Amino acid sequence: MIEPLAPLFRGALEEIGDALFVDDGRAGPEPLGALLAGERLAGVLARFAARYDEPEARAVASQWSKLYFSRLLVPATAAAIAADWRLPLAPERMRVTLDAEGGVAAFALPEPGGAVRAGDAETRFGFLVEAHLPAAIDSLARASGLTRRVLWSNAGNLFERVVSHCAGLLGEAHPGVRHGRELLARRRLASGAANPLAEPVRYLADGTRQRRVCCLRYLVPALAYCGTCPLDRPPAVRSGN
């Protein structure tokens, strides 16, 4: 765990914080930049697929990306909102630990990062949205054939969950929460480029939370439809998220 962030990730949140730690140089983690840049990523995805029964390659990559984002994006976003903390997430400076099946277990960072006073959404989340996610998503898309739209949707789904969770704890008026809401609602970034995290989910009239883009989980025979699936399927077959 990143030591300065330990007070944030206590109790039930400790496991989330443990997915990030400062690299001590010991053997174990491998360079993340090399994993994302080379042919190794395709091999890791093939190994990850072995946990499922005859899965579709794009759906496997989607599930792998969800694990990747949950280990990285969730604690990084929570820290940015609740502690005004910016983590050093340039892929070429990070290392990653994979589990026995090829899933992401943890990320080693070159340093703990530091507190940054953010006056707007892009300043607060730029280290994640601009410095890390584009490279990771482009690499996954190349290795798997999965569209960037689905991958950004997977990231956005988790980002929205963290923002909403923080809103419940800190209130909607909290600057970090307000910036998170602003980023999710914005169609374009300050640069004029399209915002890939814009409106990843919608809430139906009955309060049901629903993704706007399907994650292709339904293409993995071993898995049920997710709880936020936008496809027209009976609720009885949905589970998980």
pTM of the model as a whole = 0.91
223-239 pLDDT tens trace: 777 778 777 654 444 44
Closest C-alpha to 77, from 167, 142, 150: 167
Residue 6: the pLDDT is 87
Residue 190: the pLDDT is 84
169-212 pLDDT tens trace: 999 999 999 999 999 999 998 888 899 999 999 998 888 898 99
11-50 pLDDT tens trace: 767 888 899 999 987 767 899 999 998 789 999 999 999 9
What is the domain partition of the chain in residue ranges? 3-237
Closest C-alpha to 140, from 127, 153, 125: 153
Residue 237: the pLDDT is 42
Among the residue ranges 11-15, 103-107, 131-135, 164-168, the one predicted with the least confidence is 11-15
What CA–CA distance (Å, rounded) separates 99 from 114?
29
3-state secondary structure of 202: strand
CATH class of 3-237: mainly alpha
Residue 232: the pLDDT is 65
pLDDT at 214 over 70: yes
Query: Angle formed by the axes of helices 133-144 and 148-170, to 10°?
Result: 140
DSSP 224: P
Tokens 């909102």 found at = 81
Q: 147 — alpha (psi -120 to 50), left (phi > 0) or beta? A: beta
Pairing of strands 20-22, 104-109: parallel
Residue 233: the pLDDT is 55
pLDDT at 137 over 60: yes
